Amino acid sequence: KREREVGKDAGQVNASGEADANAATPEWMRVLEESAESDPEIASLLEGTERNPQAIEAKIRERFEQKKEKIYQERSGSTVPTLVTFREYNSFNLWIWVEAHNKIADMEKPLIEEVFKAWFVLGKLGGFNSNNLQVQDNFDSVSFMDYSMEQAHEFSTDTSTHVFHEMSEPEYKANWCRVWVDLGSSDEMCVDVLINSLIQFSREYFGLKQIIIGGENEDWTTEGSEFGNIDLEIDETFGRGPRSQITSR
């Protein structure tokens, strides 16, 4: 009987301890733990910390310091203007080529990858929608302007519009970087935004000799690539606007 009472008391203590531990867990830590179930990068932050908030915070700070070295590095860009060339353009099957003045080093690759990733995220969220540029259209009287929700949602449907579909991981060869992208139903202004960003990137970080939009690159063929091996037929009867209807040949 005495053993049963001791075991009961121990169980009560354990349950109480677990409840106290859960109550003491910071809200931000619970959010991280939930996110870790679907995000490997967050899961790696929690690994080995044994749910210790101080240990997790220390790993977050360490990760930030590592990334900060890449982000806040001294400027080493180029004042030489970047050449921009357009070749055959297919918004559903588009190669973008970037040539640097020198071989792209491993420490430089994450920088240019962040440019393309940020651009792609904006595209996936419908950021390149030329039908709703109200602030730009009222550039001379933005203060206290009336923002039209009707115009903002004019083309909204159950199906997302003006959004990117797919983008490959950046690939590298010596001085070259290339990315394949399906621009989906987004508008061509997205290409202007990318070009502007890469030109400024060249000035700030490391020099880019040229940017080529579309077509093939004689220095680096796409034959055999797992991306871009599609042949699309556009039904011209649908014209432009939201994108023309496409069928596979």
Q: Is the whole-model pTM more than 0.75?
A: no
Report percent pLDDT > 70 for the chain. 76
64: pLDDT confidence band, cut at 50, 70 and 90?
confident
Residue 44 has pLDDT above 70, yes or no: yes
Return the domain boundaries, the chain. Answer: 2-71, 83-131+160-248
Mean pLDDT of the residues in the chain? 80
With a cut of 80, say whether residue 165 has pLDDT above it. Answer: yes
pLDDT beyond 60 at 136: yes
Answer yes or no: is pLDDT of 104 > 50: yes
pLDDT over 90 percentage in the chain? 43
Model confidence at 200: pLDDT above 80: yes
pLDDT at 105 over 50: yes
Three-class DSSP labels, the chain: CHHHHHHHHHHHHHHHHHHHHHHHCCHHHHHHHHHHCCCHHHHHHHCCCCCCHHHHHHHHHHHHHHHHHHHCCCCCCCCCCCEEEECCCCCCCEEEEEEECCCCCCCCHHHHHHHHHHHHHHHHCCCCCCCCCHHHHCCCCCCCCCCCHHHHCCCCCCCCCCCCCEECCCEEECCEEEEEEECCCCCCHHHHHHHHHHHHHHHHCCCEEEEEECCCCCCCCCCCCCCCCCCEEECHHHCCCCCCCEEEC
